[in-house]
A = this chain, B = another copy of it.
Amino acid sequence: MERVKSLRVDGQRNRERIVAAASELVARDGAQASLEEIARRAGVGSATLHRHFPTRQALLEVVFRDGVAQLCAMASAQPGRNPAAELAAWLEEVTVYTATHRGLAAALLAGPEGLSPEELCCTDMLLEVLTGLVARASSAGAIHAGATAEDLLRLANAIAVANEQDAPTARRVLRLALLGIRP
């Protein structure tokens, strides 16, 4: 959980409470969780929530940032075997994680609107890792040229958002998509 130095102590504490309350309620209700209820549970006025997070997406980005960072760290920690298999395995982990954590896929699709520009958004973190994996696999001739990092992330996000709360299906459909339909 990061600090925002420029805030007064009470502002700092409110911000942390809002993020904690949002984490609980987004996990329960998904990306559409009531902002009113989040403010209520955090013990702040609704106007305070809006000052700290000008848009719903800005709040969601902060809620999910730590988890996504962990996911990104897992990629580099993997052994360097077949680069196409490595790419596929990490994309599968991302898809399962995203399908499992309610609201995350929707947040990734909606983009980081309203996030303060110096902060790295979740999509950018994922894209950075994925670009590296795609480059390695590509220069090893292990994937074809049409498979870009951007489209692969779009594909994974699409499958996750359509299969929120159903990780086995999300994983199976992603595998199908990475494999294609030819025999």
Number of A interface residues in the complex (CB < 8 A)? 33
- Whether a CB of chain B sits under 8 angstroms from the CB of A72 is no
Q: How far is the CA of A23 from the CA of B143 in the complex (A)?
A: 43
User: Is the beta-carbon distance between B183 and A154 smaller than 8 angstroms?
Assistant: no
- Whether a CB of chain B sits under 8 angstroms from the CB of A180 is yes
CB distance from A159 to the nearest CB of B (A): 5
User: Is the beta-carbon distance between A144 and B183 smaller than 8 angstroms?
Assistant: yes
User: How many copies of this chain are found per oligomer?
Assistant: 2
Q: How far is the CA of A152 from the CA of B181 in the complex (A)?
A: 9
Q: Using A159-B158, A161-B158, A161-B161 as known contacts, say yes or no to A144 and B177 having CB atoms under 8 A apart.
A: no
Q: How far is the CA of A180 from the CA of B177 in the complex (A)?
A: 6
> Nearest 6 A-B pairs (CB), nearest first?
A180-B180, A158-B162, A177-B177, A158-B158, A143-B181, A147-B181
